[in-house]
């Protein structure tokens, strides 16, 4: 491709997880490589993640941002790391829901009900996994898990793997966490608010922890992280803004309680959150 285009052409990939730097390594002019990640459906979703490689000329980033912005899109800048912003920060929405299901704390309809009705999310995690496709969602989780050197925060679930093995991909195959075949009866959730708020708090605090870690490691700035999650996956609130509203101390206390209970690194509290708790600071003024 490089040989077929002019020297000032931007060469971009729509990947959601592959290394942009690795792609640039094969170019004669790697300063024009860029990640430009649109979200499906691209005609409707406004968010676009822009990912410069370490070789990328800042002027190329500025040109791309101007061009994409002129098409009515909202851009955020992310560091070239696995999952960028959205596919990294969103992992606990699925992973912690699956863990709650695996432990028998609640079933899929109840978890989905809690996140929708109590948390304000447009879709619950199991509805969303079925909508995306369990094959796709599982592959993204597995890819991020391996790319982060098997960090337990991103560990895939055998429950979802078995659905993939059985080709129960979700809506597109007729079966997933739910049964979409003609005549199937939708299961009812257990509408226990105490249980529902416990589910919401657990998943939300894990999401906030991941967003805080992304900020701490300079994957993106505060505004871009919150913008990415509200416009890229339609979260009802930016996660860092949500942390301020809940209270940083309460988020840290919940994460610490989970860590004490499980003694798994999966539940380790981000150093930034702990420092902010100690200094009584918020993410926003």
Strand 47-52 and strand 33-38: the pairing is antiparallel
Residue 153: predicted pLDDT: 96
Going through the chain in order, the beta strands assigned E by DSSP cover 11-13, 33-38, 47-52, 74-77
Peptide bond preceding 41 in cis form (omega within 30 of 0): yes
212: pLDDT strictly greater than 90:
yes
- What is the average pLDDT score of the chain? 97
41: pLDDT strictly greater than 90:
no
Entry pTM: 0.95
Whether the CB-CB separation of 265 and 253 falls below 8 Å is answered with: no
100: pLDDT strictly greater than 90:
yes
Q: Which residues are catalytic?
A: 37
The neighbour count for residue 120, using CB atoms within 10 Å, is 11
Query: What is the arithmetic mean of pLDDT over 138-145?
Result: 94
> If pLDDT is split at 50, 70 and 90, which confidence band does 197 have?
very high
Closest by CA position to 235, among listed 65, 92, 136: 92
In the chain, the percentage of residues whose pLDDT exceeds 90 is 95
CA dist 36 and 274 (Å) reads 33
User: Encoding tokens for residue 243?
Assistant: 């942390």
Q: Is the dihedral of CA 19, 20, 21, 25 positive or negative?
A: positive
User: Encoding tokens for residue 241?
Assistant: 């803004």
Residue 3: predicted pLDDT: 87
Q: What is the pLDDT of residues 171-194, one digit of tens each?
A: 999 999 999 999 999 999 999 999
Number of H helices, E strands in the chain: 13, 4
Residue 219: predicted pLDDT: 98
In the chain, the percentage of residues whose pLDDT exceeds 70 is 100
């Amino acid at each position: 491709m490089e040989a077929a285009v002019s020297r000032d052409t931007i060469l971009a990939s729509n990947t959601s997880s592959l290394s942009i730097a690795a792609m640039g390594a094969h170019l004669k002019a790697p300063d024009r490589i860029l990640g430009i990640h649109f979200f499906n459906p691209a005609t409707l979703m406004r968010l676009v993640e822009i990912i410069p490689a370490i070789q990328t000329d800042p002027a190329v980033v500025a040109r791309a941002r101007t061009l994409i912005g002129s098409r009515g899109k909202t851009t955020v800048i992310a560091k070239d790391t696995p999952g960028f912003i959205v596919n990294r920060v969103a992992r606990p929405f699925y992973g912690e829901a699956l863990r709650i299901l695996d432990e028998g704390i609640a079933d899929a309809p109840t978890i989905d009900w809690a996140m929708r009705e109590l948390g304000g999310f447009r879709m619950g995690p199991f509805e969303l996994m079925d909508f995306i496709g369990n094959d796709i969602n599982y592959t993204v989780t597995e890819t991020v898990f391996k790319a982060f050197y098997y960090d337990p925060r991103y560990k895939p679930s055998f429950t979802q793997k078995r659905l993939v093995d059985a080709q129960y991909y979700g809506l597109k195959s007729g079966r997933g966490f739910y049964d979409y075949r003609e005549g199937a009866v939708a299961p009812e959730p257990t509408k226990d608010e105490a249980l529902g708020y416990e589910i919401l708090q657990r998943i939300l605090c894990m999401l906030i922890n991941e967003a805080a870690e992304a900020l701490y490691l300079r994957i993106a700035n505060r505004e871009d992280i919150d913008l990415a999650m509200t416009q890229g996956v339609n979260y009802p609130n930016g996660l860092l803004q949500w942390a301020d509203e809940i209270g940083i101390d309460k988020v840290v206390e919940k994460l610490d309680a989970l860590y004490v209970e499980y003694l798994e690194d999966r539940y380790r509290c981000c150093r930034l959150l702990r420092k902010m708790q100690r200094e009584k600071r918020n993410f926003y003024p």
